[in-house]
Structure 1
Amino acid sequence: MKRKSLLLAFAACLALGAGLLATPHAHAQPKYTVTAEQLQEAVAQRFPRRYAMGELLNLTLQAPRLRLLPQQNRLGTEMVVDAAGPALANSSTGTFDVDFALRYEASDQTVRAHQLRFNTLRLAGLPPGPAALLEAYGPTLASQTLQEVVLHKLEPKDLMLADGLGLEPGSITVTPKGLVIGFVNKPLR
């Protein structure tokens, strides 16, 4: 009788275990987190940047202040812009605002900015001519400034567990505290 009860209990455990294995959430896949501070530090290393707009105007972009936009799964940034040159009577300071999505680049294991959206470029006290030129040049400046900028580089040690499980970085989710990189199964080769 004890043997029969033990076998029934063992069979029930096996059935329960098999049911758990079949559910998609039974095995939590690893995730990798990048804090807002880590992102800010990585971006700040690539600034200031200078851009000439012909011989009329020179722009200097200071290190951006990143904003996490979890509702849109994007990052935003605002940069201080200093403008000077023959097109201006006096130098001017203002702000440049863009937002962007993120993507993972497997070739160098980096998280990069892409799908940039130009929002605004405002400089205080500009005459209408230079102001219109800057507004027209804004999307190009955004692309040159942040398109494909590396925001974070994953190290081999960061990927060791996932690689051993046959996984690679997949989704990138913007949260109120930073980024969460999810992993997906590597394609069969």
Structure 2
Amino acid sequence: MGAAGLALAFGMGLSACSAMAPGPRTVEVSEARLAEMLARHFPVDTRYMELFDVSLTHPRLRLLPAQNRIATQMDYTLGSALTGGRSLQGLLELSYGLRFEPSDGTLRLDAVRVERFDVPGVPVAQQPRVSRLGGVLAESVLQDAVVHRLRPEQLQTLAGWGYEPGPLQVVPGGVRLTLMPVKR
């Protein structure tokens, strides 16, 4: 998922605020815009521990404002030398929060949790074990994943206006970023 829209919204939202008295400001990005930004990052193809080939496709986003989280459901394909060249396909649903990391100007996934991991064709007795393995794999790959990096000039512009990115909150209809006055 990307947050390029957040960066664009910074300039639009703050240009009107720059002449006002300092105080927290907010910028909102709509659910539709978030879904659009998320779709740009798919498909995802990665190798984990030189053992598993993972492909993630067709992301579907859902906001969970009551928990301040976002859910993303996607299709996956998991291949491994352990399966004799055969791949597993199914459905994966994650939920996660978002956080801004000031040390490198990135927006990252936070507290990633696998909510659902369906593995068609696996015998019912093995389903819980396979689901746990898939959950651990997905959580470890995606925890702290960078979803957007603000360019240094964007951060400098914000700082010049006396602001820095603060908390992100999932609200009905989108995500709200609070821009905090820089402590001087």
Query: How far apart, CA to CA, are the structure 1 residues paired with 2:42 and 2:109?
Result: 13
Superposition pairs for residues 168-183 of structure 1, below 5 Å?
168-183=164-179
- Structure 1: runs of 5+ lacking an equivalent: 1-25
- Residue 157 of structure 1 and its aligned partner are, at CA, apart by 4.3
Amino acid in the other structure paired with 1:185: P
Q: Deviations over 1:98-148 (max 9, x none)?
A: 111111012332221111122121122212465344222133222244222
Going from structure 1 to structure 2, the CA distance change for 1:50 and 1:158 (only over 3 Å counts) comes to closer
Query: TM-score, normalised on structure 1?
Result: 0.66
Aligned match of 1:95 in 74, 91, 97?
91
SS in 2 for 1:108: coil
Aligned match of 2:123 in 120, 127, 134?
127
Query: How far apart, CA to CA, are the structure 2 residues paired with 1:52 and 1:103?
Result: 24
Larger RCO (CA within 8 A; separation ≥ 6): 2
Query: How far apart, CA to CA, are the structure 1 residues paired with 2:123 and 2:61?
Result: 29
Query: How far apart, CA to CA, are the structure 2 residues paired with 1:152 and 1:177?
Result: 20
Identical amino acids, percent of aligned pairs? 29
Partner in structure 2 of residue 82 of structure 1: 77
Partner in structure 2 of residue 62 of structure 1: 57
Q: Deviations over 1:27-76 (max 9, x none)?
A: 66332233334433443325322446886x75432242221111111111
Going from structure 1 to structure 2, the CA distance change for 1:146 and 1:39 (only over 3 Å counts) comes to farther
> Is 1:43 equivalent to 2:13 in the alignment?
no
> Is 1:71 equivalent to 2:86 in the alignment?
no
Whether the aligned pair in 1 keeps the contact of 2:58 and 2:75 (CA below 8 Å) is yes
Tell me how large the CA RMSD over aligned residues is.
3.2
Partner in structure 1 of residue 136 of structure 2: 140
Amino acid in the other structure paired with 1:81: Y
Kindly tell me the number of residue pairs found equivalent between the two proteins. Answer: 161
- Structure 2: runs of 5+ lacking an equivalent: 1-20
Amino acid in the other structure paired with 1:62: T
Query: How far apart, CA to CA, are the structure 2 residues paired with 1:39 and 1:112?
Result: 14
Whether the aligned pair in 2 keeps the contact of 1:84 and 1:92 (CA below 8 Å) is yes
Going from structure 1 to structure 2, the CA distance change for 1:83 and 1:176 (only over 3 Å counts) comes to same
Amino acid in the other structure paired with 1:173: Q
